Amino acid sequence: MAADKGRRPLRWLLMGLGVAAIVAIVVVYRIVSAPLPQGLLQVNGRIEGDTTTVAAKYPGKVKEIMAKEGDLVEVDQVLVQMEDEEVKAKIRQADAGIASLETRRQAANETLAVAKKELPLGIAAAQAQVDHMQATVEKAQAAEGQFSRDLERVRVLAEAGTVNKQRLEQAQLQYTVMTKDIRSAHAGLTGAQKQLERANLGKEQIAAKETELKALDSELDRVRAMREEAAIALANLTVKAPSKGIVTSRLVEAGEVGAAGRPLYELVNLDRLYLKVYVPGNEIGKIRRGLQAQVYVDSYPNRPFPAVVDYIASRAEFTPKEVQTPDERVKQVYAVKLYFTGNPDFLLTPGMPADAVIRWDENVAWAPPKW
């Protein structure tokens, strides 16, 4: 009896501790399970990102694959190298054509420069010769006129017997020589005029050389454009990442031949991640674009990541299967995207589950989600 009386206080003590523990558990449960303050809305979902499809701009055979699914790639990092020997051959051919045309153009330009210098000199020389022969003709004609009058006087004197016939014959011979000199002077003048005409043709020849030079310039521009086009094609045969992100899908294998525009990779930009959540229809009226949100992930439960509501679906849908409780699956919900304002050190990646708190009343203090 005495021993039984000694154990009663211990039993009562244990019972009291048990009741206290139960009360404490109930209090903690009520605190944890208490709803968020009015003005905050808790949602959950998975982190996703804007997908970028990397495609081949030109058709060709895949020579080498540089990245695999799950790789974190930097902007301008090489993802795929296509076969490029044919394009390189076109570039070499264009380079040879450019070199040949530049040589021809230089020679034509030098010839044109010389012709432009020689043209005024040739015209001046030909004009001087024309002027000289014109003066010669005029001089011969004046002399011929004088000899004609002298011959007439000698003939009159010879007929009168004043001078002998020999003097008349000498005068006639001199006049014949003079007429031949006149014809010779006219022939020289004609030749000088033709030479001047040929010299003036140099203007047309210069114009023709200028046209030839323009044609060479046009051909040179065309070949250079072909070379530039081939260079662009060569650069595009090295497919690079348009932005920093994670490779979510690799859609090609080495050795495959594809058409232009064929998708090669799908990337998710780590700077444009968002949490896709579903808001019940009876709560969607509280949500609007621009509202602030805080997102929590399992890896960093005490670190909220700021986000902003930037997309609200215009139509309701049935709750997707990944929503946790069965009773919520029969509800009509709206898809909402919470875009992260930053992704420091790229801690957030697509596929991570997360909980979020959307604050639709700015006067309410932030509170973490209730798990």
Of residues 34, 33, 75, 39, the one with CA closest to residue 54: 75
Indicate whether 93 and 213 sit together in one domain. yes
Domain presence at residue 120: yes
Structural element, H or E, at residue 52? strand 40-55
Q: What is the pLDDT of residues 142-187, one digit of tens each?
A: 777 777 776 677 677 777 667 777 776 777 777 777 788 778 878 8
Strands (E), 236-342: 238-240, 245-250, 257-258, 263-280, 292-297, 300-312, 317-318, 332-340
Domain count along the chain: 2
Domain presence at residue 282: no
Q: What is the pLDDT of residues 186-230, one digit of tens each?
A: 888 788 788 877 877 678 788 888 888 899 999 999 999 999 999
217 Cβ contact partners less than 8 Å away, ≥ 6 residues apart? 105
Domain ranges, residue 159? 87-235
Residue 101 has pLDDT above 80, yes or no: yes
Residue 1 has pLDDT above 80, yes or no: no
Domain presence at residue 362: no
Give 291's pLDDT tier (boundaries 50, 70, 90).
very high
Q: What is the pLDDT of residues 64-93, one digit of tens each?
A: 999 999 898 999 999 999 998 999 999 999
Rounded to whole angstroms, how far apart are CA atoms 296 and 361?
20
Residue 338 near residue 262 (C-beta atoms within 8 A): no
59 Cβ contact partners less than 8 Å away, ≥ 6 residues apart? 257, 258, 259, 260, 262
**What's the mean pLDDT in 345-358?**
92
Indicate whether 29 and 98 sit together in one domain. no
CATH number, domain at 125? 1.10.287.620
- Residue 14: the pLDDT is 52
Give 23's pLDDT tier (boundaries 50, 70, 90).
very low
Rounded to whole angstroms, how far apart are CA atoms 40 and 360?
6
Indicate whether 98 and 199 sit together in one domain. yes
